[in-house]
Copies of this chain bind each other. A is one copy, B any other.
Amino acid sequence: MPVGTQGTVKAVTKDQLLSTKPQIILGNTYHLYLRPGTEVLKHFGGLHRFMNWEKPILTDSGGFQVFSLAQSKEIEGKTKPEVIVTEEGVKFKSHLDGSWHFFTPELVIDIQEIIGSDIMMPLDECPPYPVSHQFAEESLKRTVRWLERAKKHKKNDWQALFGIIQGSTYEDLRKESTLRTVELEMDGYSIGGLSVGEPAELMYKMTEIVTELIPKSKPRYLMGVGTPENIIESVDRGIDMFDCVMPTRNARNGTLFTHYGRLNIKAAKHKFSEEPVDKDCDCYTCKNFSKGYLRHLYNAQEITALILGTIHNLRFYNKLMEDIRNSIKNSKFKEFKREFFEKYLK
């Protein structure tokens, strides 16, 4: 899922985004609640109509943003978001204007019902990494209690609600969180609290523990992941869905993904290159422009560079997922994985 934080995927129009063939995009409840706000979204009849987007939208719960983005203060010598967690919910200060807000599991559902997302996430607590076993345990239990409240509060049948599995990097807690969440028979299952600084191997291990306990008929979503390597390894461990800012953010920094690894398009070596960014890519950028031209646009700080880079990276990621799906349909995933890495990691 390309990330469309504030009602657009950054640096592209709706039609440029569609040209990269996404199945669904992600919106951020925290950002949309703060700006444009629910009054505007309600007036426009939801986010789909507001942004003129007809394909599905998944919204996160804002939990992760509250714990990572909200206004910070110095706590015991460290800068931490100024959040107050109680059983009722979480109080936080807006990163935009410092105003106080209070998210409850119920309010977060209300907001997502106004947004009208096709898939909603429940409010969860996102502990930092690393964190003590005790904290992680209390936190995941609260997250389950919040999920029960969210499920009870949800009104629309047509909006799916996933459960979010936490438990940090503790095997027993990941198992406990999965079992308690699966018990609530959600429409799908998200894995939160990974890709937050832990080694990739630990992320894969936790993913494996969780996916083994989720019913095979339900979608599994690994939140905030990741690199092409992370995605392929996680699919291998049973994951179906991902979201990540990597394709769009990296594009704006000049890092472009190709089937032959990443490249820094600003590098001098591309100055005279008449080749496309990725000869195996069918995106608008690769079909129309050379690396030499893109390098010039990036170095001249042209907004057009960010548009063209974003289109390419989004198409690379969406194509990767297409290729993964096709390889699974044809029972050739292992072969695809080996061949992909042979080129990509060379």
Measuring CB to CB, which residues of chain A are less than 8 angstroms from any residue of chain B? 6-16, 31, 35-36, 40, 43-44, 50-52, 271-272, 274, 284, 288-290, 292-293, 296-297, 299-300, 302-304, 306-308
By a CB distance below 8 angstroms, the chain B residues around A289 are: 51-52
Minimal Cβ-Cβ distance residue in B for A12:
B304
Contact A303 B306 (CB under 8 A): yes
Contact B308 A35 (CB under 8 A): no
Q: Known contacts A13-B284, A296-B35, A306-B303: does B7 contact A40 (CB below 8 Å)?
A: no
Q: Known contacts A284-B13, A300-B6, A302-B8: does B52 contact A292 (CB below 8 Å)?
A: no
Q: How far is the CA of A12 from the CA of B11 in the complex (A)?
A: 10
Q: How far is the CA of A290 from the CA of B49 in the complex (A)?
A: 10
By a CB distance below 8 angstroms, the chain B residues around A307 are: 11-13, 303, 307
Name the distance in Å between A289's Cβ and chain B's nearest Cβ.
Answer: 6
Contact B297 A7 (CB under 8 A): yes
Contact A10 B308 (CB under 8 A): no
Contact B44 A292 (CB under 8 A): yes
Give the oligomeric copy count: 2
Name the distance in Å between A248's Cβ and chain B's nearest Cβ.
Answer: 10
Contact A304 B272 (CB under 8 A): no
| A-B CB contact pairs (8 Å), 12 listed | A8-B304, A10-B304, A13-B16, A31-B300, A36-B271, A36-B292, A40-B292, A40-B296, A44-B293, A50-B293, A50-B296, A303-B307
Contact B302 A6 (CB under 8 A): yes
By a CB distance below 8 angstroms, the chain B residues around A13 are: 16, 284, 304, 307-308
Name the distance in Å between A264's Cβ and chain B's nearest Cβ.
Answer: 17
Most chain B CB within a 10 A radius of its CB, from A13, A44, A271, A304: A304
Contact B44 A290 (CB under 8 A): yes
Q: How far is the CA of A43 from the CA of B303 in the complex (A)?
A: 24
Contact A36 B296 (CB under 8 A): yes
Name the distance in Å between A295's Cβ and chain B's nearest Cβ.
Answer: 8
Most chain B CB within a 10 A radius of its CB, from A9, A13, A16: A13
Q: How far is the CA of A289 from the CA of B43 in the complex (A)?
A: 15
By a CB distance below 8 angstroms, the chain B residues around A16 are: 13
